[in-house]
Amino acid sequence: MNSKSEVLVTLRKAVEDFSSERARAAAESALSMDIDPVEAIEDGLSRGVQEVGKKFADGEAFLPELIMAAEAMKAGIEVLRPVMLQKKLQRRSIGTLIIGTVRGDIHDIGKNIVAVISEAAGFNVIDLGTDVAPEQFVIKARESRAKIVAMSTLLTVTTPEQKNAIDALSNDGIRENVKVVVGGAAVTADWASEIGADGYSDNAAEAVELFKRLIIV
């Protein structure tokens, strides 16, 4: 691999082919070429997962394949993560971000990508995982004094849990102290506005930029 574009394509193809070994090797090549780890994730590994995700949505791929693609992505991220953390340590944290997939939903691929890139951007990320109850978002937001709560869901049936979490933050009296961002395949900008969220994004890179803008505001 002689160019950045070739490395990014190799990262994407490794995920599409469910090859953790190739994903790790390509990630090491990216670092040796001094490619930004975030770019390697967003324009390489993440693109591969997105492609498999599209096939899954169209019935051309099945859940086991989606899981294998996610595992390949994680293998590449494991190689890139130490460098991202080192870069983060070289600058002051820009704030605490809580992220999780809402109650009733165990999907975490998109959420994990956002969490990794947010960490690389300088956020102190607290990842609550999946199937997170509204009360868990509230407790952790209060404990950590987080500036942002980000909630994801892939399922239409669990989108109301995002509203439930916002209501729980309001009932606890800390809603005005935290910005809420929602996302996920089942979420739209109209839904975000309807439930009183502060923002919405449909991809990881834009989500992180949104987080930064909300803190500055």
Reported as a single tens digit per residue, the pLDDT across 128-187 is 999 999 999 999 999 999 999 999 999 999 999 999 999 999 999 999 999 999 999 899
In angstroms, the Cα distances linking 135 to 102, 103, 164, 171, 198 are 11, 10, 9, 11, 19
Whole-structure pTM value: 0.74
Which of helix, strand or coil describes residue 116? helix
Domain 95-216: give its CATH architecture: 3-Layer(aba) Sandwich (3.40)
Is pLDDT above 80 for 85? no
The whole-number pLDDT of residue 90 equals 61
Q: In the prediction, which pLDDT does 132 show?
A: 98
- CATH numeric code, 4-89: 1.10.1240.10
CB 152 within 8 A of CB 100: yes
Q: Where are the domains of the chain?
A: 4-89, 95-216
Q: Quick check: 91 pLDDT over 90?
A: no
Alpha-carbon torsion angle 26, 31, 28, 46, nearest 10? -40
Quick one: pLDDT at residue 217?
A: 52
- Confirm if 127 and 144 have CB atoms less than 8 A apart: no
Structure tokens at 174: 């800390």
**Fold match between 4-89 and 95-216?**
no
